[in-house]
Chains A and B, each alone.
Chain A
Amino acid sequence: MLQFRPWQLFLILGVVVLGAIFAAPNIVSKEKLATLPGFVPKTHINLGLDLQGGSYLRLGVDTEKVITDRLTSIRQEIQRAMRPSGNRERIVLEGQPSLNAEGVITVRVRDAADVEEAAKRVRDITRGGVLAATARPYTVSVNGERIQVEMTPEAKRTYATEALGDSIEVVRRRIDPSGTKEVSIQPQGVDRIIVQVPGDNDPEALKQLINRTGQLSFHRADLSVNPAEAEAGLLPPNRMLVPMAASEGGGAMVLYEEAEVTGDMVEQASAGLNSDGAGFQINFTFDSRGARRFSDYTRENVGEIFAIVLDNEIISAPRIQSPITGGSGRITGNFTPEEASRIATLIRSGALPAPLTVQDQRSVGADLGADSVRAGTIALLSGFAAVIVFMVLTYGRFGVYANIALFCNIIIIAGFLSVINATLTLPGIAGIVLVIGMAVDANVLIFERIREELAAGKAPIQATELGFSKAFSAILDSNFTTFGAAFVMLMLGVGPVRGFAVTLAVGVCSSVFSAILITRLLAGGWLLKKRPASINL
């Protein structure tokens, strides 16, 4: 029982040495680590945002809106398809196609003879899309003169997933355009994004970059309609009333609904000094399609006013002085440098498929983080020291063995957390401190058993053997329950709770290993070598 086979010995020492090797990168600086050869393990424990400072944002993606937008545009397409074009004849509808709150588009055909042709046109439009290859994204059902179109659940899921992925990309381009920061942007569930930005930063600035859709479009202005009348309801068809940005003097302007050029045709945008006036401007370049469209449009409309609309607000409304054919342009207005660079980032990163809502925002200053690291380290060291003294006073030589096991335990925990590249949070440190206190439990159980066996008159070696074997079932059962609690926290917990649970779970496992095997190895080795007649325990 106390004797170990060589391979067992090798295994136990191996685990401790591996723990030490994997824990080592944590005490080497990052610069030094980069210079070491490839076979040296480099993963280390990351400090959580609460320890190094930083911001955490949880964003909700309005995937419902993506689907509604999609259905709205399908509804418009259906309406257009009923108009005459080429050799197609007009199909007369009973009113406009409608879209209800459940996402069902209803088309009423006036003449029953047209229903078949109308349904064919609807099917043509609703074929294809994201799921073209595998299934139809829409179901089309005909009921008398009524045609109903509904999006299938799979298509809804696919659009939602795409919207989530696209949103993450856009958010990344906005927060970290150069791709150099240690920013983590992860999906959570089906409609949420977790953004974590370490270091000292202003969460307010982050929010301003994220909570705008970034929809850019160029529209023809209709100066024949008075904005005040338009507001009173006298808006001609295909026109819209759009407010002017405060930097443009406020008010509103009537624009044609149809966009001449849209933001997705803009390739590049940057902020710069206004070349002829005060303030800053945004310089941009179109892609080839945008350049052609813009050049055609400006050539035909010299002298007219056009409006640049960003997220339903006119940010600039210049008069076309001469055709702009070079494929580039600028947005002038009385922008501050921050505004100009923010707008440039928005344009460059493209539009979000759906608006994002900040649901949860946490941010910790770097000072507080540093304070926490210091406090956590002091608590860890003082707790460790106190336990060591206590164990030696209570169990003498065996207490020293238990302390060596405890030390190995900490090394194994650190090594394991490094291998899995875990994030250490303040509650995580608390977990380790607690594990140190509880880790000796297995040894205490064993030592108390040995004491009992000695009191019953057993010889030291036999008493020790019995102590280890009899304590085993209690150690197993009791640690399983603690592990169970940690496991539940890991599964159901969020944020701080998970950080605590990870270290607690890892700590429980490694403490059983080190308390049973390492202590037995040390105590057994001593007993078998010295064969003392009595032990002081």
Chain B
Amino acid sequence: MKLLKIIPDKTTVPFTKYRWHALALTAISFVVAIALLVKPGLNLGVDFRGGITIEVEDTAPVDLGQVRGAIGALNLGSYKVQEFGAPNIIVVIVDPANIVNAQGGAGEEAGSEADEALQAASTQVQDALRQTLGEDITFRNRSVVGPTVSGELVNRGVMAVVFATGLMLVYIWIRFQWQWGVGAVMGVVHDSIITVGIYALLQLEFNLATIAAILTVIGYSVNDTVVFYDRIRENLQKYKKMPLAELIDLSLNETLTRTIVTGGTTLITLLALVFFGGEVLRGFAIMITLGIIIGTYSSLFVASPFLLLTGVKRDAGAGAQAAAQTP
């Protein structure tokens, strides 16, 4: 059987030659991503924003205008009514700002009163939906997240990303040298900012699952980076005199098939999730799919060429040598 050749033997892509182009591209996407975060900003989901999200299925297509009228009449503040996947399924989102602000004050007392007010509002919304659409509707999904919880979730989410990044920095620092750790973290920062920027651009709902998506992308991207670093370290031992840029290019090309095959199998499964995984997982799966591509790009064009910037100790510390020699 003739096996699939992903790329021809002796491929030599001059990755490091493009490092300035890559840097420019990275800089531009950073600026764009940050601009997008300012306006239109992230479309925060119910987890982080707090509030009410109710998904309803009716037996017949739903008249959105009628539902909007009914929810608007409750005077709960800003709200959205949208179709969700099918004409007989809608999702009602009520922003909690008005309900929460109506409680006034701050502190724990006001928080728990706002939690209660929100629960009462969700009962009102459900009653209104039953009145408008009839008793035969089914509530597919109901989330009512009070301000106490949403604040906490934001903290935890940010902490998770920061902590994961720190952990990787330390691990790579120990296994390689600090320059490599910084390079890998540059890649992580690149991936996180661009991923979040895409969320703002596409106005995808940013929720708890998004944090999981970002962490997965970070994990995958560092995974790639480490494979490259491992090969660069090995080649540093092998070719003592080769210029660093040439050596990095050689290492990236040597591992290129692996990069493409692993990226390929991961993307295949992710696409299966995107197309067959259902409405609930779609946003999450799309995000990881884009993230894997971004992560691979950052490993090739950001994290690895970054070593040229910081330089590496060729007669590396004993620790790094010992690590490179362990099978």
Contact = CB atoms under 8 A, between A and B. Distances in A.
Interface of A: 50, 58, 60, 62, 64, 203-204, 207, 211, 357-365, 367-368, 371-372, 374-376, 378-380, 382-384, 386-387, 390-391, 393-396, 426-427, 429-430, 433-434, 436-438, 440-441, 444-445, 448, 451-452, 455, 469-470, 472-474, 477-482, 484-489, 491-497, 500-501, 504, 536-537
Nearest to B119: A358
B168 interface: yes
Contact of B156 (A211, A386, A494, A500): A494
Interface of B is mostly: helix
B327 A444 contact: no
Given A383-B273, A497-B209, A430 B281 contact: yes
Contacts of B1: 396, 536
B176 to A, nearest CB: 9
Interface stretch (B194-202, B213-221, B304-312): B213-221
Interface stretch (B31-39, B96-104, B251-259): B251-259
B22 interface: no
Interface string B107-118: 010001001100
Interface of B: 1, 3-4, 6, 9, 55, 57, 108, 112, 115-116, 119, 122-123, 126, 138-146, 148-149, 153, 156, 159-160, 163-164, 167-168, 171-172, 175, 208-209, 211-212, 215-216, 218-220, 222-224, 226-227, 229-231, 234, 254-255, 257-258, 261-262, 264-270, 272-273, 275-278, 280-281, 284-285, 288, 323-324, 326-327
Contacts, number: 265
Nearest to B221: A481
B276 A488 contact: no
B115 A357 contact: yes
In this complex, the member of B222, B224, B285 whose beta carbon has the largest number of chain A beta carbons within 10 angstroms is B222
Nearest to B222: A481
Given A367-B140, A393-B4, A486-B219, A448 B9 contact: no
Given A379-B273, A492-B163, A426 B123 contact: no
A387 B268 contact: yes
A394 B3 contact: yes
B122 A493 contact: no
Given A203-B142, A361-B142, A481-B226, A438 B266 contact: yes
5 contacts: A363-B142, A364-B141, A394-B3, A482-B220, A486-B219
Contact of B145 (A203, A360, A430, A480): A360
A372 B277 CA distance: 7
B276 A378 contact: yes
A493 B160 CA distance: 7
Contacts of A429: 277, 281
Contacts of A436: 265, 269
B283 to A, nearest CB: 11
B165 to A, nearest CB: 9
B157 to A, nearest CB: 8
Contact of B219 (A364, A395, A482, A495): A482
Given A359-B148, A393-B3, A394-B3, A437 B163 contact: no
A204 B123 contact: yes
A437 B3 contact: no
B269 A477 contact: no
B260 to A, nearest CB: 9
B223 A478 contact: yes
Contacts of A357: 112, 115-116, 146
B143 A361 contact: yes
A434 B266 contact: yes
A359 B168 contact: no
A361 B156 CA distance: 19
A440 B146 contact: no
A476 to B, nearest CB: 9
Nearest to A200: B138
B326 to A, nearest CB: 6
Contact of B223 (A207, A359, A481): A481
A245 to B, nearest CB: 19
